[in-house]
């Protein structure tokens, strides 16, 4: 018989799970998940952990290499023990990871959320400002940095994007955090975690804290049935008085559709179960139906959501470098401190012989090579140093951490622009890694949007960056993100959710990229691309070019040309109207028209002429003399070569 003990969440009560969405406290709980289900979950978790054993072993070894505590790892690979009590540990591999992390932080991402329908433009624009605010409130830059360290070392970084009902004083908000890869488990053999039957996340907490938050656990925390693998830390971490809290996510078919459900438990005691909550039993825990975890993989591996990192890629050349360095240093020490053969019946005072501060060494007999002889030392040939340097170069080339990528060059290139160009070309590996991080970032933003759509029922206040860098304070809710009814020709087609596309770009670009972009802007300005009289030529030229921000620039130039064309039309109309209603103003307006056309003449574009035959809505073709004189003077100014020719003929 199933155990019916169910701990239902209560709003404001101590039994409420801080990470669970708020539910109706008066709803009748449905006892679906109990102690028996918890035992089954733990059995599945044990199987998942066994399937992950090799991945965990590799992760632990990578962390040891990162901490330069790789002597034990090198002994495993070379089969050699300590020789002479010294082992060299150079930091070439460490420097690779540091350099790649710097590249990733230089390209810190920012989202641009685009609508798929015209009606959603306002919401997409607001989300493009609100989502970065939500991430900033979660200190996402620190999280991004930590995940990048994890990704570069072990090959995989993990994010969790969930709803935390305890944030903002109980109002709740999106929570984005880094996850320890050793604490998550999935079905062995899957490449995408979304394809896993179950997904587990474990965390070890103090028993007294658990009892304080969940009083029904008092006296029931006798020990953990499951313990996750832990990193080898410098501190001695005790597990006494602690218990493992397990979160399990799974999907279940409800009403013909797959719904995501969630259970938090410790031992066999349920802390929260969405199937036991009437508000989520039919709906599912998250409307988006995805496990709230995002994996960012460096180099993918078939049959696993985890990849391998730079430690796995470069540990072999690093091990060879350390072995050679160890031999070099020991050889140098032997040469710097000579050693001797001494006969057991020798007459030399050994204490005085070894004491370099005593100039005299006493002997009770003859001193010859038969009694004391120096051990010969042969210095290493330079070829061995070349071998070591070749291994260093192999490591750098394999990892893409070449001299130009780190800002130096030995190839004779000294010009700053040439070095910058080499750095840009040598960073292809880093760019590829960053693009995978951008894809993971897109998934994070997508999950954030879905959580906002589900839980932002109450309007929130945000400070966003307005036009020209000014601060704007806006109110935002999920009103515009909810499902909307749709119909065609009066036929009801159900409801549709606003869908958005996410485009990720680098928030902080490198100095080289900024300089190149600024130089391009100056060149376009000098070529007259921003002159409204040269719109057609500028657009034809831009159509053959490719650079960041091109589409926005084309739009601005097109808009500027349209505005200039309308301005000329209206000025022409104004000049015509003055002929009829205000002849005394015609001369001044004519001057303004010619001043505006002067830019066109300077740019080599023929000015718009106003012919005598123009007739607007029945206005008289007869124009005042003052207007005729103004036109005559303007034509003379516009055709200096013809006037000069006439004057020459008159002079003859």
For residue 102, CA distances in Å to 98, 149, 152, 348, 429 come to 6, 10, 11, 62, 13
Residue 301 β-bridge partners = 304
Q: Which of 263-272, 344-353, 417-426 has the highest mean pLDDT?
A: 263-272
What is the C-alpha separation between 403 and 554, in angstroms, rounded?
39
117-126, 179-188, 330-339: least confident range: 330-339
Least confident of 21-30, 58-67, 169-178, 229-238: 21-30
Percent above pLDDT 70 for the chain:
77
Tell me the three state secondary structure of residue 580.
helix
The neighbour count for residue 97, using CB atoms within 10 Å, is 24
**Of 139, 132, 144, whose CA–CA distance to 107 is shortest?**
144
- pLDDT at residue 616 in the model: 43
Range scoring the smallest mean pLDDT among 250-264, 345-359, 589-603: 589-603
> Using an 8 Å Cβ cutoff, are 232 and 63 in contact?
yes
Domain spans in the chain, listed from the N-terminal domain onward: 524-651
Per-residue pLDDT, 438: 95
The answer to whether the beta carbons of residues 533 and 563 sit under 8 Å apart is: no
In 3D space, the residue among 308, 400, 423, 317 whose CA is nearest the CA of residue 96 turns out to be 400
CA distance 403 to 423: 9
**Short-list 451, 178, 516, CA closest to 290:** 451
Give the residues across from 265 on adjacent strands.
246, 270
* 368 Cβ neighbours under 8 A, 6+ residues apart: none
The confidence score (pLDDT) of residue 346 equals 67
Rounded Cα distance, 441 and 447, in Å: 10
Say whether 256 sits in a helix, a strand or coil. Answer: coil
Helices (H), ranges, 400-497: 416-426, 428-455
Task: Provide the edge-to-edge strand list for the sheet that holds 156-164.
Answer: 173-178, 156-164, 293-297
Work out the mean pLDDT of the chain and round it to a whole number. Answer: 79
Highest mean pLDDT out of 2-11, 318-327, 402-411: 318-327
Of 264-268, 325-329, 589-593, minimum mean pLDDT range: 589-593
pLDDT, residue 410, reads 57
Tell me if 201 sits within 8 A of 179, measured CB to CB.
yes
pLDDT at 525 > cutoff 50: yes
Least confident of 16-20, 310-314, 340-344, 422-426: 16-20
Higher pLDDT: 22 or 92? It is 92
pLDDT in tens, 474-513: 999 999 898 887 767 677 667 788 999 999 988 765 555 6
pLDDT level of residue 584 (50, 70, 90 thresholds): confident
Which residue pairs from 281-284 have beta carbons closer than 8 angstroms and sit at least 24 positions apart in sequence?
Answer: 281/30, 281/32, 281/254, 282/254, 282/255, 283/259, 284/254, 284/259, 284/260
C-alpha–C-alpha distance, residues 351 and 319, integer Å: 40
Per the listing, tokens 């932002």 go with 456
> Cα(161)–Cα(447) distance, rounded to whole angstroms?
7
Which residue is it, tokens 């130009």?
A: 404
- Would you state the pLDDT for residue 27? 47
Residue with tokens 């750098």: 396
Main-chain phi, psi angles of 363, to 5 degrees: -140, 145
Query: What is the C-alpha separation between 486 and 481, in angstroms, rounded?
Result: 14
Task: Express each pLDDT in 585-623 by its tens digit.
Answer: 777 777 777 776 655 444 444 444 444 444 444 444 455
Beta bridge partners of 109: 506
Q: Are the C-beta atoms of 268 and 45 separated by less than 8 Å?
A: no
Residues 6+ apart with CB under 8 A from 153: 62, 63, 66, 97, 309, 310, 311
Interstrand relation of 304-308 and 500-506 (parallel, antiparallel or unpaired): unpaired
Average pLDDT over residues 190-211: 94
SS3 158: strand
Tokens of 27: 């709803």
User: Does residue 502 contact residue 445 with C-beta atoms inside 8 Å?
Assistant: yes
* Dihedral sign for Cα atoms in the order 285, 287, 290, 294: negative
Low-confidence winner among 114-128, 234-248, 453-467, 634-648 (lowest mean pLDDT): 634-648
Residue 179: which pLDDT band, with cuts at 50, 70 and 90? very high
CB atoms under 10 Å from CB of 70, counted, come to 24
Task: Pick 62 or 494 by higher pLDDT.
Answer: 62
Write the secondary structure of 574-634 as one string of H (helix), E (strand) and C (coil): HHHHHHHHCHHHHHHHHHHHHHHHHHHHHCCCCCCCCCCCCCCCCCCCCCCHHHHHHHHHH
Question: Is residue 156 within a helix (H) or strand (E), and if so which, with residue range?
Answer: strand 156-164
Q: Please tell me which of 487-491, 576-580, 648-652 the model is most confident about, judged by mean pLDDT.
A: 576-580
**Is residue 568 predicted with pLDDT exceeding 80?**
no
* Partners of 503 in beta bridges: 112
Instruction: Give the integer Cα–Cα distance in Å for 511 and 490.
Output: 57
Q: Where is 272: in which H helix or E strand?
A: strand 269-273
Q: What DSSP assignment string belongs to 488-530?
A: ETTEEEEEE---EEEEEEESS--HHHHHHHHHHHHHHHHTTTT
Looking only at the bridges linking them, the beta strands covering 340-342 and 304-308 are unpaired
pLDDT of 264 > 90? The answer is yes
Alpha carbon distance 106, 123 (integer Å) = 29
């Amino acid at each position: 018989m199933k155990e019916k003990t169910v701990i239902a969440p209560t709003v404001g009560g101590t039994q409420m799970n801080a990470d669970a969405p708020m539910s109706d406290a008066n709803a009748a709980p449905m006892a679906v998940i109990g102690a028996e289900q918890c035992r089954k979950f733990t059995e599945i978790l044990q199987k998942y952990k066994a399937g992950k054993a090799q991945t965990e072993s590799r992760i632990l070894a990578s962390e040891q290499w990162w901490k330069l505590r790789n002597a034990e790892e090198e002994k495993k690979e070379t089969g050699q023990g300590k020789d002479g009590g010294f082992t060299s540990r150079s930091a070439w591999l460490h420097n690779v990871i540091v350099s790649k992390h710097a590249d990733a932080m230089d390209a810190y991402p920012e989202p641009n959320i685009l609508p798929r329908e015209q009606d959603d433009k306002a919401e997409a624009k607001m989300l493009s400002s609100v989502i970065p605010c939500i991430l900033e409130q979660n200190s996402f830059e620190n999280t991004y940095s930590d995940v990048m360290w994890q990704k570069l070392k072990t090959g995989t970084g993990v994010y969790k994007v969930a709803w935390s009902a305890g944030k903002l004083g109980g109002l709740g908000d999106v929570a984005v955090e880094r996850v320890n890869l050793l604490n998550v488990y999935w079905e062995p053999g899957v490449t995408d975690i979304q394809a896993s039957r179950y997904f587990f996340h474990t965390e070890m907490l103090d028993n007294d804290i658990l009892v304080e938050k969940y009083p029904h656990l008092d006296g029931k925390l006798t020990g953990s049935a499951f313990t996750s693998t832990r990193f080898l830390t410098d501190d001695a971490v005790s597990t006494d008085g602690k218990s493992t809290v397990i979160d399990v996510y799974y999907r279940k078919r409800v009403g013909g559709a797959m719904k995501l459900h969630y259970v938090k438990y410790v031992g066999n005691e349920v802390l929260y179960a969405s199937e036991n909550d009437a508000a989520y039993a039919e709906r599912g825990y998250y409307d988006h139906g995805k496990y709230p975890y995002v994996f960012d993989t460096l180099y993918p591996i078939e049959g696993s959501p985890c990849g391998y990192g730079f430690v796995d890629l470069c540990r072999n050349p690093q091990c060879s470098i350390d072995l050679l360095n160890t031999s070099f240093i020991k050889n140098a020490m032997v040469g710097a401190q000579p050693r001797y053969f001494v006969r057991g019946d020798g007459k030399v005072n050994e204490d005085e012989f070894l004491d370099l501060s005593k100039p005299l060494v006493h002997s009770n007999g003859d001193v010859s090579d038969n009694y004391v002889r120096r051990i010969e030392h042969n210095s290493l040939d330079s070829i061995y140093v070349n071998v070591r340097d070749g291994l260093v170069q192999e490591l750098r080339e394999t990892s893409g951490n070449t001299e130009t990528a780190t800002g130096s060059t030995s190839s004779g290139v000294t010009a700053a622009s040439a070095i910058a160009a080499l750095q840009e070309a040598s960073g292809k590996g880093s760019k590829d890694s960053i693009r995978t991080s951008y894809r993971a970032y897109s998934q994070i933003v997508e999950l954030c949007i879905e959580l906002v759509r589900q839980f932002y029922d109450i309007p929130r206040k945000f400070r966003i960056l307005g036009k020209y860098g000014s601060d704007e304070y806006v109110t935002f809710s999920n009103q515009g993100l909810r499902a909307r009814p749709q119909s065609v020709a009066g036929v009801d087609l159900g409801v549709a959710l606003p869908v958005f596309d996410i485009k990720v770009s680098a928030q902080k670009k490198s100095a080289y990229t900024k300089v190149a972009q600024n130089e391009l802007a100056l060149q376009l300005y000098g070529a007259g691309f921003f002159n409204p009289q040269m719109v057609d030529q500028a657009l034809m030229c831009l159509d053959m070019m490719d650079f960041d921000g091109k589409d926005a620039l084309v739009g601005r130039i097109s808009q500027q040309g349209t505005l200039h064309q309308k301005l000329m039309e209206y000025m022409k109309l104004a000049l015509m109207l003055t002929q009829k209603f205000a002849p005394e103003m015609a001369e001044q307006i004519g001057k303004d028209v010619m001043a505006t056309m002067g830019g066109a003449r300077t740019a080599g574009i023929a000015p718009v002429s106003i012919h005598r035959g123009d007739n607007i809505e029945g206005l008289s073709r007869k124009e005042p003399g003052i207007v005729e004189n103004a036109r005559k003077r303007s034509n003379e100014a516009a055709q200096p070569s013809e006037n000069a020719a006439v004057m020459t003929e008159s002079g003859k």
